Structure 1
Amino acid sequence: MRPATGKTPGKGRSLWWRVHSWAGLKLAVFMTFVLATGTLAVFAHEIDWLVTPAMRATPQDGPRASWGRLAAAAAQAEPRGRLGTLYAPIDPWFTAEAWIDMGKGAPRRVYVDPWTGTVTGTHGWANVHRFLRQTHRHLMLPTRIGIPIVSSLSFLLLASLVTGIVTYKKWWRGFLKRPRGGDARKLSGDLHRLGGLWSLWFVALIALTGLWYLVETLGGNARVPQLPTIAAQGPVPTGARLDRLVAAARRARPSLDIREIRFTAANGVVFLGQDGAWLVRDRANAVAIVPADGTVLGSLDGRDLDMHQRISEMADPLHFGTFGGLTTKIIWFLFGVILTGMSVTGTIIYAKRLEKAERQQRSAARIAWSGMGAWAYIGIALVVMALILTPGAIVGAG
């Protein structure tokens, strides 16, 4: 029996379902690629650690080598270049990493054992981390073009989130519902719904941070705090000279956990890291020291950021789950796998549903491809383009 409005029962729900299917199907190839590269990018440094022996260090009980000793070793390893940045180890089993400016092209990487202060190896700019992050972020295209293309997927994620909740009746009961066995349609459908429920928070987080990247690219980026400038400095301080500057920075900011040192021409030697502010990048906390006499040129504190700047600083740690070290990385990776799998299972659900309705006149693969229409070719073209551009964007630059 029809309701008094004359609408058929479930008509509104079927409209939501059609929107959900469209959002998850049309750009499924491209969406899966972006989600997969983003998921792997969470552990990009760790993947590089696996494939690059020079990045590995053996934790020791003794004291670590000083920043000055690390800088001196890195500078001696590439005497034709200029030391630009020095990074502390990501974890105890990582080496310290220095970036050496070679005058033209991309920097070279120098890895230094944080305990012995000896160079373990050098490497070009191209690595797994650069490939995954640049592919995921902007498809190897210029950022003003690539970031809007990738970030626009946030709208599809938000549409899938809202329509998925609406179309799943009494969804709050499904968190502990075990997937049924049987045919691929039932299994993929149950896994899709189960994964969707447990990752509601994650989908919302990734969609909103992705939307923020789009806002930034379109002109809504926050003003980056600036340090005072000085006249061009002389040689890069290393060894005991750098250690004296480190001591000066620590006197100025005792609570600053130094994670990075930048040797700049305009701002002197800049020490960056983590302090009292939570969920900010290292650049939000900084102390700039004049290398000639060790005086403090200026300081930045993440707690002084305004709301706009704070949102900008929070985006990266929240998007990639780096704010809590290895623990949050594991959580983000697992939910990234779930989200990537949902993109695949959503396509299977659509194809299997129509395959049954057509009594298997066409295969599920053909149905899925047909359902994507021209969007399938657009998605594949974007993926192939990113791979083709990789040598020029990364390998060639190194």
Structure 2
Amino acid sequence: MAVKLRKVWVAVHLWIGLLIGPLFVLIGLTGSLLVFDHALDEQLNPGLLLTEGSGTRRPVADVIAAAERSHPEGGTAAAVSRPRVENGVWTVWFPGGTADAPVFTQVLVDPYTTEVRGRRAWGEYTMSIAYKLHFQLLTGRTGQTVVGVGGFLLAASVCSGVLLWWPLWRASWRAAFAVRSGRRRVYDLHKLIGIASAAFLLVIAFTGIYMTFPETSKSVVTAIATPTEEPKDLKSTTSSTAQSITPDRAVEIAKEQIPGAEFDHLHPPQGTDGVYEVALRQPGEPTRSFGRTQVWIDARTGEVLVVRNPHDGTAADAFMAWQFPLHNGEAFGLVGRWVVFAAGLAPAALYVTGFLLWRRKRRSQREHPAEATTSPSPPADTTATAALSGTSA
């Protein structure tokens, strides 16, 4: 029975790796690239994203006004994000396109002079293309579904690999972790890279599945715990005698609600009765690339309408907030990012070593067909011995 079950896991591990392995390689390599997406983007486009200016930064209101004046389609900015680094620029976002094919344009503004450094559409520059390749294979919803299914298959491949490795660990430390010379080296590298990256790949696969199927994932989470819903239908005072507050004042009001929080981004009011939504980031939030603390403010009176503090959220809120920062490693700072970067390279190493093992075995079967048909598989309790003697792949 154990021998038959082992054969099943060998087949699962082999055919998922051979058939779906190239997809794992592509998603893994692009994922490693995206771990440091902002820094790479700045290196690729320094004239657009970095400034040599210094002195006093201009008000947020001036930044938004400069972006709106320069935007060819006109309209009100949908969001404005602070400079990511000290010598970075403001990013002002404008929506466009259609409901079926939305287009989001960035206008990049110098924080010291409010000079517009340039504009670009998300999905048309290098790092955003890499993101669409990673998340949707450049084919929209269909590609996104393929990536999500690939996440399940990656988890199955990792689990089957661990199950095949486990008898080696039970036999001896050397059988489980040794890297030997000669013909055995490729096999040993495959098993060592696999077991070293297994836990990280499972976390990446799980969080990736969650983000690939957000509605389904949220419904599953909601069935277990209750998330905090986004406030709806918030409106500002429409009295003609009320004077609108500035974006900078809205940021000040928001920060007064959460002492110690840092400003991250802001959504200006849309329409005559729109509200400000100010996003802050507090110490202890797992997401470091953007803030999840939100404050909604009446754009006319400055009255605080809603405060959403993630530290006061439900278990469902906390679970959902951890998915993205676990996926790219930022929850654990620079060390976490480098760990995820290395884990993203693992599928490529596993595919190459696994393919070499499969090709060697196929060549051996062609050269010695009688042995391939008459030699039984080693029993489960002798797997470690067979591996050490070089007869197991």
Fold conserved between structures, TM > 0.5: yes
- Pairs aligned (count): 347
Aligned CA distance change for structure 1 residues 278 and 246 (closer, same or farther; 3 Å) = closer
Instruction: Report the CA distance between 1:28 and its aligned residue.
Output: 1.8
Q: Is the 8 A contact 2:237 2:298 kept in 1?
A: no
Alignment of 1:274 with 2:281, yes or no, is yes
Q: Is the 8 A contact 2:168 2:175 kept in 1?
A: no
Residue number among 23, 26, 29 corresponding to 1:30 in the alignment: 23
RCO greater where, 1 or 2, for CA within 8 Å and sep 6 or more? 1
Aligned CA distance change for structure 1 residues 106 and 54 (closer, same or farther; 3 Å) = farther
Instruction: Report the CA distance between 1:49 and its aligned residue.
Output: 2.0
- After TM superposition, the score normalised by the length of structure 2 is 0.75
Q: Which has the larger radius of gyration?
A: 2
Which amino acid in structure 2 is aligned with residue 74 of structure 1?
A
Aligned CA distance change for structure 1 residues 175 and 89 (closer, same or farther; 3 Å) = farther
SS in 1 for 2:8: helix
- Alignment map for 1:308-319 (pairs within 5 Å): 308-319=316-327
Residue number among 129, 134, 137 corresponding to 1:136 in the alignment: 134
Which residue is 1:89 aligned to?
Answer: 83
Q: Is the 8 A contact 1:47 1:128 kept in 2?
A: no
Instruction: Report the CA distance between 1:288 and its aligned residue.
Output: 1.2
Aligned CA distance change for structure 1 residues 116 and 180 (closer, same or farther; 3 Å) = farther
Residue number among 249, 252, 259 corresponding to 2:254 in the alignment: 249
Per-residue CA distance 1:244-268 (angstroms, 9 max, x = gap): 2222222222233211111242751
- Alignment map for 1:108-147 (pairs within 5 Å): 108-125=105-122, 126-143=124-141, 145-147=142-144
- After TM superposition, the score normalised by the length of structure 1 is 0.74
| Structure 2 portions without partners, runs of 5+ | 370-393
Aligned CA distance change for structure 1 residues 353 and 66 (closer, same or farther; 3 Å) = farther
Per-residue CA distance 1:124-149 (angstroms, 9 max, x = gap): 33222322222222334443x44332
Which residue is 2:305 aligned to?
Answer: 297
Per-residue CA distance 1:8-50 (angstroms, 9 max, x = gap): x844433322222122222122222222222222233333223
Which residue is 1:382 aligned to?
Answer: none
Instruction: Report the CA distance between 1:318 and its aligned residue.
Output: 0.9
| Structure 1 portions without partners, runs of 5+ | 1-6, 362-398
Which amino acid in structure 1 is aligned with residue 328 of structure 2?
F
Aligned CA distance change for structure 1 residues 58 and 243 (closer, same or farther; 3 Å) = same
Per-residue CA distance 1:69-103 (angstroms, 9 max, x = gap): 43333334326342211112233353221113468
Q: Is the 8 A contact 1:16 1:166 kept in 2?
A: yes
Which residue is 1:70 aligned to?
Answer: 63
- Alignment map for 1:35-46 (pairs within 5 Å): 35-46=28-39
Alignment of 1:226 with 2:230, yes or no, is yes
Which residue is 2:9 aligned to?
Answer: 16
SS in 2 for 1:292: coil
Residue number among 169, 190, 193 corresponding to 1:192 in the alignment: 190
Aligned CA distance change for structure 1 residues 255 and 188 (closer, same or farther; 3 Å) = same
Which residue is 2:44 aligned to?
Answer: 51
Aligned counterparts of 1:130 and 1:232: Cα–Cα separation in 2: 38
Aligned counterparts of 1:360 and 1:123: Cα–Cα separation in 2: 60
SS in 2 for 1:270: strand
Q: Is the 8 A contact 1:101 1:108 kept in 2?
A: yes
Per-residue CA distance 1:327-384 (angstroms, 9 max, x = gap): 43233112211233223322222222222332399xxxxxxxxxxxxxxxxxxxxxxx
Which amino acid in structure 2 is aligned with residue 173 of structure 1?
W
